[in-house]
Amino acid sequence: MSVLELSIVLMLLLFAILGSGVWIAVALAVCGFAAVMTKVATPAGQVLATSMWTASNSWDLTALPMFIWMGEILYRTKLSDDMFEGLAPWLQRLPGRLLHVNVVGCAIFAAVSGSSAATCATIGRIALPELLKRGYDERMAIGTLAGSGTLGLLIPPSIIMIVYATATDQSIARLFIAGVIPGMVLASLFMGFIAGWALLNNTRMPPPEPRLPIRQRIQASRRLLPVVLLIIGVIGSIYGGLASATEAAVVGVFLALILSWWSGTLSRQGFIDSLLGATRTSCMIAFILAGAAYLTAAMGFTGIPRALAEWITEFNMPSWALLSVLTAFYIVLGCFLDGISMVVLTTSIIIPLVTKAGFDLIWFGIYIVLVVEMAQITPPVGFNLYVLQGMTGRNIFAIGTYALPLFILMCLSVVLIAAFPGIALWLPSTMLDAR
Partner 1 sequence: MRPALDWVYRGALWASALCLVAIAVLVGVQLGARLIDGVLALLHLPRTEFVLLSLNEICGYLLAAASFLALGGTLKAGAHIRVTLVLAALSEKRRRYVELWAFGFAAAACAYMTGHLASFAWVSFRFHEVSPGVVRVPLAYPQAAMSLGALILTIALLDELSVVATRGRPSFRAAEDAITVGKEG
For partner 1, which residue of 5, 40, 41, 57 counts as binding (CB under 8 A)? 57
For partner 1, which residue of 35, 36, 48, 362 counts as binding (CB under 8 A)? 48
In one-letter notation, the amino acid at residue 364 is: F
For partner 1, which residue of 386, 398, 416, 427 counts as binding (CB under 8 A)? 386
For partner 1, which residue of 38, 221, 265, 279 counts as binding (CB under 8 A)? 279
| Residue 26 lies near partner 1 (rule: CB under 8 A) | yes
For partner 1, which residue of 10, 25, 245, 259 counts as binding (CB under 8 A)? 25
For partner 1, which residue of 10, 34, 36, 69 counts as binding (CB under 8 A)? 69
Residues in Cβ contact with 234 at an 8 Å cutoff, skipping those fewer than 6 apart: 70, 111, 112, 157, 248, 249, 251, 252, 255
| Residue 177 lies near partner 1 (rule: CB under 8 A) | no
| Residue 117 lies near partner 1 (rule: CB under 8 A) | yes
Task: Calculate the dihedral angle through the C-alpha atoms of 86, 90, 93, 94, rounding to the nearest 10 degrees.
Answer: -90
The alpha carbon dihedral of 314, 317, 319, 323 has a sign of: negative
| Residue 52 lies near partner 1 (rule: CB under 8 A) | yes
For partner 1, which residue of 1, 4, 8, 19 counts as binding (CB under 8 A)? 19
Name the strand (E) or helix (H) holding 359: none
Using the contact rule CB under 8 A, the part of the chain among 48-56, 90-98, 309-317, 319-327 near partner 1 is 48-56
Cis omega before residue 182 (within 30°)? Answer: no
Give least dist CB 123 to partner 1, A: 12
| Residue 349 lies near partner 1 (rule: CB under 8 A) | no
Pick 180 or 388: Cβ nearer partner 1: 388
Alpha-helical segments (H) within 44-171: 44-56, 63-75, 79-91, 99-110, 116-133, 138-149, 151-154, 159-168
In one-letter notation, the amino acid at residue 58 is: S
Restricting to residues 153-172, name those near partner 1 by CB under 8 A: 153, 159-160, 163
Name the strand (E) or helix (H) holding 332: helix 319-336
CA 25, CA 28: separation in Å to the nearest integer? 5
| Residue 286 lies near partner 1 (rule: CB under 8 A) | yes
| Residue 366 lies near partner 1 (rule: CB under 8 A) | no
Number of residues this chain uses to bind partner 1 (CB under 8 A): 78
| Residue 297 lies near partner 1 (rule: CB under 8 A) | no
CA 213, CA 216: separation in Å to the nearest integer? 6
User: Alpha carbon of 408 to those of 322, 403, 404: distances in Å?
Assistant: 20, 9, 6
CA 243, CA 278: separation in Å to the nearest integer? 22
Residue pair 118/150 in contact by the 8 Å Cβ criterion = no
| Residue 109 lies near partner 1 (rule: CB under 8 A) | no
CA 15, CA 247: separation in Å to the nearest integer? 38
Pick 108 or 387: Cβ nearer partner 1: 387
Give least dist CB 229 to partner 1, A: 16
| Residue 260 lies near partner 1 (rule: CB under 8 A) | no
Using the contact rule CB under 8 A, the part of the chain among 13-21, 195-203, 218-226, 404-412 near partner 1 is 13-21
Length of the chain: 435
For partner 1, which residue of 10, 34, 66, 145 counts as binding (CB under 8 A)? 66
Restricting to residues 226-245, name those near partner 1 by CB under 8 A: 243
| Residue 46 lies near partner 1 (rule: CB under 8 A) | yes
Diameter of the chain by CA atoms?
Answer: 77
| Residue 364 lies near partner 1 (rule: CB under 8 A) | no
